[in-house]
Chains A and B, each alone.
Chain A
Amino acid sequence: DAGVIQSPRHEVTEMGQEVTLRCKPISGHNSLFWYRQTMMRGLELLIYFNNNVPIDDSGMPEDRFSAKMPNASFSTLKIQPSEPRDSAVYFCASSPRHTGRNPYEQYFGPGTRLTVT
């Protein structure tokens, strides 16, 4: 079975440009997470969706960042306008239906390496 699919794998753009990152979660998973990883700050949760609905976006750095999940098989993370400090690896992760108190098992995609010059 295919895992979490992210595109593009690498993105280089100039400051001020719009960037859109894409994610296809594992089929049947109902939770989706967007993370950002940098050397300085490690892996940070940006936003979490459950059943396509954004539950918590408190990790989104600022209004330049937005995320959508129009259906169960697709999500986007958009940065507009982009800045050099947004350079990082962005990961999407999905999780199967959560029941009871069982901890979430997150399955990560390969990531998108974003470089803003």
Chain B
Amino acid sequence: TQLLEQSPQFLSIQEGENLTVYCNSSSVFSSLQWYRQEPGEGPVLLVTVVTGGEVKKLKRLTFQFGDARKDSSLHITAAQPGDTGLYLCAGEMGAGTYKYIFGTGTRLKVLA
């Protein structure tokens, strides 16, 4: 059973456009992480959000954790070709636990 659904599954946009990726679940998570994975490499952690309603910014990337801690979004402003990759969200199943459930992934391609 996939607990974390990401949408859209695929996204191809032009350089300079804005986009939002969603991560949704019916389960409550203690924390949620976003990763970016490039071909032939492992996922790289971008951010961790812990508090419901929390918003974090990382340059052109804005991450939000839903108030109920069941969903999250990633917004990219003025996308660049270097943003191309597979974006994964991962929810922590219980506070202080090790167990992260990964989402289905959003494959983003930014065209120059």
Contacts and interface: CB of A to CB of B under 8 A. Distances in A.
Given A42-B104, A103-B31, A91 B42 contact: yes
Interface of A: 4, 31, 33, 42-45, 48, 50, 55-56, 91, 93, 95, 98, 100-101, 103-111
Contacts of A55: 98
A103 B92 contact: yes
B42 A48 contact: no
Residue among B2, B98, B99, B103 facing the most chain A CB atoms (10 A cut-off): B98
Main secondary structure of the interface of A (DSSP, over half): strand
Contact of A45 (B45, B48, B95, B100): B100
Nearest to B33: A103
Contacts of B103: 42
A105 to B, nearest CB: 6
Given A42-B2, A103-B33, A111 B99 contact: no
B48 A103 contact: yes
B40 interface: yes
Given A42-B104, A103-B92, A33 B98 contact: yes
